[in-house]
Every structure is written in C-alpha cells, then in structure tokens.
Structure 1
Amino acid sequence: MNATDRTPADLLRSALAADPARPLVTFYDDATGERVELSVATFANWVAKTANLLQDELGAEPGERLALLLPAHWQTAVWLLACSSVGVIADLDGDPAAADHVVAGPGRFDAGLACSGDRIALSLEPLGRRFRIPPAGYADYAVEVPSQGDRFAPYVPVDPDAPALAVSGLELTGAQLVERARADAETLGLAPGARLLTGRGYDSWEGVSAGLYAPLAAGGSVVLCRHLDRLDADGLAKRVESERVTATAD
C-alpha cells in the first residue's frame, strides 16, 4: 500500500491500482453454507454503487452519522468503505436515534426504526437477495443499489482528520484508522498477498480490523467467517488449506 494513503478509501484505491483481480474478501457463513468471494475490483464496484446510493439517493454529507446494525458480513464491509468514501461516520452497532441514517439487518429492524432519517434494510441472504416484502419503514438495499453508478466521486473531498468510524466506544478519524490498521497488520504478520482467516465479529476494533482494515492496509485479503464455531477442527484445517490461509485471528 502507498505510504500516502490516509483514509480507508485511499487504501481501497491503492489496492485497485495494484491488482484489481486478486481476492480481497472471501466470506463464509457456516450456518448456511454460503461462500462469496469478491476480488478487489468487484468489492470496489459494490463500494462505488453503495457510496453513490449514500450520497445521491440518501443525500448523506460528510460528518453525518450512519448506524450500522449489521454483523460481520461482506456487505457490512462494503458499507464501511462506502461511508469512508463519502465522509460519513460509520457507527457500528450505534444508536439509531442519534444517527442521520441507519442500515439494518435481520433481527435489528425494530431497533432501527428509532432513526428519523433514511433507513436501508439488508436481507443478508446468499447473493444479496431481495426481500419478498421489505420491512416496514425501510428501503431494500438489493433493490436500490444495482442501478447506481459504477464509479464514485465525492462532492466534497474527504478529510482524513475527520471522524470516520465508531465502534465499541472508540471513535477514529480516517488517518487514525489507517495508522491502527497498519500497526495491526504488522502485529498479525500480514505482508502483501497474505490471507488472514478470522471469525471475530465486527463489534470491536479488533474484530473489524482483522475482518477488513488490517488485510486491506497490508495489501492482503481476508477470509471472513461468520458462525465459525460451527466448524470442527478438521473442517477448519481444510478451510485453511483450501483458502491458502497464511494467518489467523479467530
């Protein structure tokens, strides 16, 4: 990654310039058997579309707060980078009543109604399927995002020293987030091309760093596993081998 990168969006742009075809996020849900692999280019396309949705359709502006009521998931990772692209503060498991926008998944829709602003619902079904009937008070992400543009440019340049992420009582600017992610990558032994397997949730800095930011900062990739505790030792060993995992943070 480039030493001049100061926001998560910068890290993604550098990854895209370096090798767009390599894997970036490989997601498993061991409760459903789902596996999704996104290259840097595919992930960046999802981020661009989501950032356009956030900026153009929801009217989000830098400094606004978006409560992310979602588990560790590839679509959560997309939303985190989309928020960074626009300059919106991504508040993981944040208070919807204090947020300008909310993005919620199954089990969190009632809580998200406390947000008086825009509300987006994710089904978290395989392949990002639509709801048959969206939850009351919400727009369906899977309906809204496909028509968005494949390229994104913020109306206002993102300030690296502005708040970017809130998680578990910690609030970080974009520059602080990148600095911490680089330090975590070093601690985890991640080098360019590394494959980190993690079963940590996105409810702490340690979880979201291992599950997205540290591999991105290192020029590596993440094998993000939800419900990893359902996998026995033999199954885990097979996954480590098949995914060419070089480091773990479970």
Structure 2
Amino acid sequence: MADDEDFDRYRAPALDKGLDILELLAGIDGGLTQAEIAKHLGRSPNEFYRMLDRLVRRGYVTRLEGDRFTLTLKLFGLAQFHAPVRRLVSFATPLMRELAQRSRQANHLAVFDRGAVVVIAQQDAPGYWGISIRVGAHISLLNTGSGHILLAFRSPEERAMMLAEHEQHADDRGPLADLPSRLDQIRERGHEVMASLQTAGVHNLSAPVVGPDGKSIAALTCPYLAPTNQPDAPSIPQTIDMVVETAARLSVLAGGKPAES
C-alpha cells in the first residue's frame, strides 16, 4: 500500500505520457498515427498532440508520410555512450591490439550517433607510421568504410532514418551515386574495401560488429597504408581477412554472431 501511495505522490503525468509513447512506438514497425497511438494507450487523441510535437522537435520521433509517427535512432545513439559501449571497448581493446600487431596497421572502432560516425576506440600501428584517428572524432557516414558498414547492416527503414539524421547535420560531400547498390553488395560479401575519399594512398578496410539481432552495432576499420620497405607485410586481401576475423570475434563477445557473407 505504501508503495502505491509513493507512486501516486511522485507521478509526473507529462513524463509518463511521453514514455508511454516511446515504449509503444519501440514495438511497432511502420509507425502509428496520432489516433492509433491514443487507441493503443486508451486516451483521447488530443491528449497526445503537444507531446508528439515535442518528441518530434527533440528528435526522438519522426513523422512519416500519412501522418504516421515512428521512433528515430536518437535513443540508440544515446545508448552508444552508456555502459554497453564501455563494455564493447573493453572487449575490443585486446583484439584491436592483436589486429594491429598482425596487420602492422592502425585500426579503430566506430558507432553511429545522431547522424554521424563517432570513433569510440583506436589502436596505433606497431611501427613508426600509420593513420590514427582520435577517439571522439566524428567522421562521414556516407563516404567512409565505417559509415558504409553501419548503413549496410541495418534494415532499409533504419538506413533511411540514419540518412535523414545525417542530412540535418552534414557538411561533407553527398553520397556516392551508387550508394544503395553498394550497401547491398557490402552486406552480401560481409565487408567493405574502398579507397579513402579523405586521404590519398589509404584504403579503408571495414567489417561489422553485430549484435544478437544481426544488425551492426559498430564498425571495425583499418585505414590501410601500403608499406614500401616491408615486402613481407600483409597485403590488402590478407588484412581484410584479419579485420573480418577480428570483427567476428568481437561480435561473439558482444552477444551476437559473425555477419553472414
């Protein structure tokens, strides 16, 4: 009885209403209209107008054609920097260190966050040269191996939301002309190999870290620099095999399974 009284004493009706909407939309594919939301929650449609407007303006919900509302990936992005990401980095660090030693190249781990790709872990090459990207750096969603991987291993609906969020903040060049078909090819073969569009002479070798649902939660990327004085150094094909293997091992540690190719 005391617990019920405490619950009523500290109620925040507006907050409860917003959380009810988020929890409802999280379990619905394709979104719901305002009337459908009200019906599911047993309330009048007018009760949700202002709340839906605020959730849209704050970026947690988006309006689709036909006045349907659906969740954006903002909550997903916020979750990336909570405890699960710290655990992912702790799992990844020894594997990334091993990858750097075997490949003689640097590598980094990146996640999607509110329209951009954010580096959450980085491992230097063991030698005196290599490409290093600082932790916390924001890199392109459209024109990097990491971005392609994060897009390729998501559903078409999630891709569309990621691209929409990117457009709100983008200051880079537009996407590759053949991006949709390229993403399908990446998903089919299980990795990305592309010449860097930012740095001459560098190839991005990227593979997905996937969660239990088979969707990308992170991208592992090696910015490959071809050595000129090490004839026995791993080649691009050899290195991408190492990146794919390392990403698969990390996927297992993260509770998922290696991406199928």
TM-score, with structure 2 as normaliser: 0.25
Between structure 1 and structure 2, the one with the greater Rg is: 2
Question: Which is bigger in relative contact order (C-alpha 8 A, separation at least 6)?
Answer: 1
